[in-house]
Amino acid sequence: MYLDSDAVAGPAHGRTVATPAWTVLVPFFNERDYLSATIASLAAQTVPLRLILIDNGSTDGGAAIAEEACRMHGLDYMIVTEGRPGKVAALRAGLGWVRTRWVATCDADTLYPPHYLAAAQAVLSRPGCVVAGAYFIAPGAGEEERAARARPFMLNARLLPRQSHTGGAGQAFCAATLQASGGFDGDRWNYVLEDHEVIHRMMRHGAMGYADDLWCMPSPRERDRASIRWTLFERLLYSAAAPWAGDWFFYSFLAGRLRRRRLSSERIRERQYQHLEEPAIAPPHPVL
C-alpha cells in the first residue's frame, strides 16, 4: 500500500497481519534495476518481517517495481513516500511506522542471505547489545572468500569496540533504543555518514555486536563513493575519539568539515560528484 509520510497506517493489502518481531526499512531513490532482487532476498528470510519501503522522490518508476515484487512474494509491506530529499529524511519517515522489537536498515541495491535477520536477532539477544552490524562481501563470493573477509572484520571489531565497523546497509537495531536515542533526525545530523553518527548515539545505551554469520552483499554497481568517504585524517581521528569524545568529533569537528564539502544528506545522489578538501581514504567497508 502507498502512504505519504503523514498518512495513517493500516494492515497490508487490507488484511490483518500478526505483528512480527522485525521491521526492515529500505529507502530508495531511482533504484528500479535493483529493487526486485533486494526484495526477493528479504522475502526469503527465515523469520517473519514487515517491510517498509521509502520512496525518496524516485522518477524511474521504482515504487511500482517495488510494489509488484512485494505482492509477488506475499510480503507484509507498505510503501511510504517522503518528499524531503535525503537518506536521513527517508529513514526518519520509515522509522515512524515501526512497531516491532527490532528494526534493520537495508539498502535497495544489496542482497541479504536467508539467515540475515535471524543472525542479527541472535546478536541483539546478547545481554547489553542494542545494535548489530554486518560485514560486506562481494556478490557471488564463495565460502573461502567470505571467511577471509570475516577474519579481519571481526578482529577490528574486537580491537575497536566503541565505533561502527559497517554502514547502514548492514545495521540492525533494538527499535526502542533507536527511538529513545533520537532515531534519524535531520535537525541533529543531516550529512553523509549518518550511519556512523547514529551508532555513536546508540552506544550511549549499550554495545554494538557482530557475528561471523552476519553478512550481506552490496551490488557491484558503478558509483562515485570517493566523494562521500572519510578523509584519512577524519578516519584516524574517529578511531581515536569515538570512545571518549564522540560528541565533539561529530558535532563540533566533522559536521563543519562535511558542510564545507557540501555533503549534506539531501544533496547526495548516486553519480553526483563533489569536491574534496583533502585526499580521501576508503574505510574498510562501503560507506552507505
SS3 string, 73-95, reads CCCEEEEEECCCCCHHHHHHHHH
Question: Average pLDDT, stretch 256-283?
Answer: 61
**Separation of alpha carbons 25 and 98, rounded Å:** 9
* Among 159, 138, 124, 169, CA closest to 287: 169
pLDDT(101) > 60: yes
Identify which has the larger pLDDT, 242 or 107: 107
Q: In 10 A of CB 168, how many CB atoms?
A: 25
Which CATH class for the 2-219 domain?
A: alpha beta
Question: How do residues 197-229 score in pLDDT, each as one tens digit?
Answer: 999 999 999 999 999 999 999 987 655 454 567
The CA-atom distances, in angstroms, between 248 and each of 1, 205, 218 are 42, 18, 31
How confident is the model at residue 17, as a pLDDT? 54
Question: How do residues 52-92 score in pLDDT, each as one tens digit?
Answer: 999 999 999 999 999 999 999 999 999 999 999 999 999 99
Q: Which of 119-123, 166-170, 219-223 has the lowest mean pLDDT?
A: 219-223
**Separation of alpha carbons 68 and 262, rounded Å:** 36
pLDDT(273) > 80: no
Parallel, antiparallel, or unpaired: how do β-strands 76-81 and 110-111 relate? unpaired
Identify which has the larger pLDDT, 27 or 224: 27
How confident is the model at residue 247, as a pLDDT? 95
- Angle subtended by helix axes 87-95 and 194-202, to nearest 10: 40
How confident is the model at residue 244, as a pLDDT? 87
Task: Please report which confidence band the pLDDT of residue 123 belongs to, taking 50, 70 and 90 as the band edges.
Answer: very high
Residue where the block lists cell 527499535: 175
**Separation of alpha carbons 109 and 14, rounded Å:** 28
- End-to-end alpha carbon distance in the chain: 27
**Separation of alpha carbons 99 and 52, rounded Å:** 11
Share of the chain above pLDDT 70, in %: 84
Question: Average pLDDT, stretch 139-147?
Answer: 93
Ordered by start, the domain boundaries in the chain are 2-219
pLDDT(14) > 70: no
Q: Are 100 and 30 in contact (CB under 8 A)?
A: no
**Separation of alpha carbons 140 and 157, rounded Å:** 24
Share of the chain above pLDDT 90, in %: 77
